[in-house]
Chains A and B, each alone.
Chain A
Amino acid sequence: MTAPLLEVTGVGKRFGKLTVLEDVSFSLAPGEALGVVGPNGAGKSTLLNVVAGVLPADGGRVVLDGTDVTRTDAAARCRGGIGRSYQVPRPFGGMTVFENALVAASFGAGLRGRAAADAAFAALVTAGLDRQADTPAGTLRLLDRKRLELARALATGPRLVLLDEIAGGLTEAEVPALVETVRQLGREGVAVVWIEHVVHALVAVVTRLMCLTYGKVLAVGDPQAVLADPQVIEVYLGTTMAGDDPGLGDAA
């Protein structure tokens, strides 16, 4: 096995007295896809924020490709190859869709001129937004805003992409295209951490699945084995997935 691209060791995060993450560890090889499931409030988005540098970790280490980035800010981690999408989309509303991706290609990937524009447009094509390139991002519908989150994360030229519930709200017909996009990332050597309530989409792509609950890793490993774990069924599948709700309401 190749050297890990990402190594998260004993990461903890507290907000005041509330412990959101406790001793979370995992590693990821280049091109590997890790799925993250868990009930709401389990600390999934916080984990991505700590990996991306949006929030500083209170303890533990985040190592990207052999470099300790635990104390590195989000902008520098992005330039180092970590792309992150927000669960609640945060487009630059005053700019066009293309400009949103262009900013990511210019600064995240460090491209200039024609190369930046090409990379930005390619990311829009991948995310299925190329026909809305000149639309002001502030006027996009929620689903297109989610696509833009993906496009911007891809346009930064990442080696590791952190996806936060990008399938929630997609139609059944759209999910396979998204799954194929993520699979293609893996073939290009890009590692993916994907938080998703649409479990069948996850299982179609990821090589490993991690279940978080109350900020701790409950189980991690082969997706089918994790989903069959009685503890996982109890805390997660047994409750929120009982009605097989694909998470339409989870966007907000």
Chain B
Amino acid sequence: MSWVNAVVQGILLGGLYALVAAGLSLVFGVMRIVNLAHGVLAVLAAFGAYVLGDALGLHPFLALLVVVPVMAAVGYGLQRGLLNRALGGGELAPLLVTFGLAIVLQNALLEAFSADSRRLDVGALGTASIRLGDGLTVGVFPLLAAVVGVLVIAAIGQFLARTATGRAMRATSDDRDAAALMGIDGRHLYGVATAIALGTVAIAGVFLGARSTFDPAAGGVTLIFAFEAVVIGGLGSLWGTLLGGVVLGVAQALGAAVDPAYGVLAGHLVFLVVLATRPRGLLPSAVTA
């Protein structure tokens, strides 16, 4: 396998990681919450699409029309009902609450769907590819996943920069008490942020579930890759998250090119090197505060 090919595949994989991590980055940027249930929520969305496909024969992309709004509503309710309360309990409370939520969700999924691996079937799209040159072929589906990742991050960025609600989110992220004096209701705004985060993680879950197999325990590794992308890029910076995802994806692809067993390890090593040398990430706080 040529190095160029590995880099290209890695960039595409990075786009998918960025798609997964976008919601994690947004929630951290706005509320300083590390949502440890983020990975399981992606898996939950994948199971949602799976059930819709199984029962109604819906294509996974059509299922998104249902799964994304449902997950967004779940996100709003989760924030208003649970996380906003946890925020009042110090820095550790949201971490513990989301950790507990991850365990509960994972076991509920296990109870409902067993530990069997599943995969979302996207039909011919899953195997279609484009030939770019000698020995360089990209799959249409990985390309689509990467493009969607970039679009989602760009859309969140535009939302934060140009809409009244987005500005209010940045203001609240800077100083919640001062934002309250501008008439901004932080509880509602946090609900909207988590709704957006879960809406995007639903898209990510469906792409992950169509790219490879998943089971109720897949949330852990999903969270780790997303978290690494966020930290490499710089906590709370959206474009940093995209960069972090790409760095992670390329590292994994290059590692795998040396030996398939080294892929994940290479990603972790790059993460550790960035953490040791640039602890604030490659692009600290660029878009959000």
Contacts of B173 in A (CB 8 A): 94
Taking A92-B171, A94-B170 as contacts, is the C-beta distance between A107 and B177 under 8 angstroms? no
Q: CA separation between A19 and B143, bound complex, in Å?
A: 64
Determine whether B288 belongs to the interface, using a CB cutoff of 8 Å to chain A.
Answer: yes
Determine whether B124 belongs to the interface, using a CB cutoff of 8 Å to chain A.
Answer: no
- Secondary structure dominating the interface of B: helix
| Contact in complex: A84, B170 (CB < 8 Å) | no
CB distance from A119 to the nearest CB of B (A): 12
| Contact in complex: B177, A74 (CB < 8 Å) | yes
Q: CA separation between A83 and B167, bound complex, in Å?
A: 19
Q: CA separation between A73 and B177, bound complex, in Å?
A: 11
Q: How many residues of B contact A (CB 8 A)?
A: 21
Q: Mark B62-102, 1 if CB is under 8 A from A, else 0.
A: 00000000000000000000000000000000000000000
Q: CB-nearest residue of chain B relative to A157? A: B183
| Contact in complex: A92, B183 (CB < 8 Å) | no
Determine whether A70 belongs to the interface, using a CB cutoff of 8 Å to chain B.
Answer: no
Determine whether A163 belongs to the interface, using a CB cutoff of 8 Å to chain B.
Answer: no
Q: Which of A98-106, A172-180, A211-219, A220-228 contacts B (4 or more CB under 8 A)?
A: A98-106
Determine whether B182 belongs to the interface, using a CB cutoff of 8 Å to chain A.
Answer: yes
Q: CA separation between A54 and B175, bound complex, in Å?
A: 13
| Contact in complex: B181, A74 (CB < 8 Å) | yes
| Contact in complex: A90, B185 (CB < 8 Å) | no
CB distance from A99 to the nearest CB of B (A): 6
| Contact in complex: B289, A103 (CB < 8 Å) | no
| Contact in complex: A102, B184 (CB < 8 Å) | no
| Contact in complex: A116, B164 (CB < 8 Å) | yes
Contacts of A102 in B (CB 8 A): 164, 167
Q: CB-nearest residue of chain A relative to B186? A: A75
Contacts of A94 in B (CB 8 A): 170, 173-174, 285, 288-289
| Contact in complex: A92, B180 (CB < 8 Å) | no
Q: CA separation between A153 and B183, bound complex, in Å?
A: 10
Among B179, B185, B186, B285, contact of A103 (Cβ-Cβ < 8 Å) = B179
Contacts of B289 in A (CB 8 A): 92-94
Q: Mark B158-178, 1 if CB is under 8 A from A, else 0.
A: 000000100110110111011
Q: CA separation between A107 and B164, bound complex, in Å?
A: 8
Sorting the interface of chain A by its residue count into under 10, 10 to 19, 20 to 34 or 35 or more gives 20 to 34
| Contact in complex: A74, B180 (CB < 8 Å) | yes
CB distance from B273 to the nearest CB of A (A): 28
| Contact in complex: B164, A92 (CB < 8 Å) | no
Q: Which of A81-129 contact B (CB under 8 A)?
A: 83-84, 86, 90-95, 99-100, 102-104, 106-110, 112, 116
Q: CB-nearest residue of chain B relative to A137? A: B174
Q: CA separation between A52 and B181, bound complex, in Å?
A: 8
Contacts of B288 in A (CB 8 A): 94
Q: CA separation between A53 and B161, bound complex, in Å?
A: 29
Contacts of A110 in B (CB 8 A): 183
Max chain A C-beta neighbours (<10 A), residue from B179, B182, B184, B285? B182
Q: Which of B178-196 contact A (CB under 8 A)?
A: 178-186
Determine whether A208 belongs to the interface, using a CB cutoff of 8 Å to chain B.
Answer: no
Q: CA separation between A52 and B177, bound complex, in Å?
A: 11
Contacts of A100 in B (CB 8 A): 171
| Contact in complex: B183, A78 (CB < 8 Å) | yes
Q: CB-nearest residue of chain B relative to A111? A: B164
Contacts of A54 in B (CB 8 A): 177, 180-181
The 6 closest A-B pairs by CB, nearest first: A108-B183, A94-B289, A78-B183, A107-B183, A92-B174, A74-B180
Chain B residues with CB under 8 Å of chain A are 164, 167-168, 170-171, 173-175, 177-186, 285, 288-289
Please give 20 more A-B residue pairs, beta carbons under 8 A apart, in addition to A75-B181, A106-B164, A152-B182. Answer: A54-B181, A74-B177, A74-B181, A78-B180, A78-B183, A92-B170, A93-B289, A95-B171, A99-B170, A103-B168, A103-B171, A103-B182, A107-B164, A107-B182, A107-B183, A107-B184, A108-B181, A109-B183, A156-B181, A156-B183
Ordered by A's residue number, 28 sampled pairs between the chains whose C-beta atoms are within 8 Å are A52-B181, A53-B180, A74-B180, A75-B181, A75-B185, A76-B183, A90-B177, A91-B174, A92-B170, A92-B175, A92-B178, A92-B179, A93-B174, A94-B285, A94-B288, A95-B170, A95-B174, A99-B167, A99-B170, A102-B167, A103-B167, A103-B168, A104-B182, A106-B164, A108-B182, A110-B183, A156-B181, A156-B183
Chain A residues with CB under 8 Å of chain B are 52-54, 73-76, 78-79, 83-84, 86, 90-95, 99-100, 102-104, 106-110, 112, 116, 152-153, 156
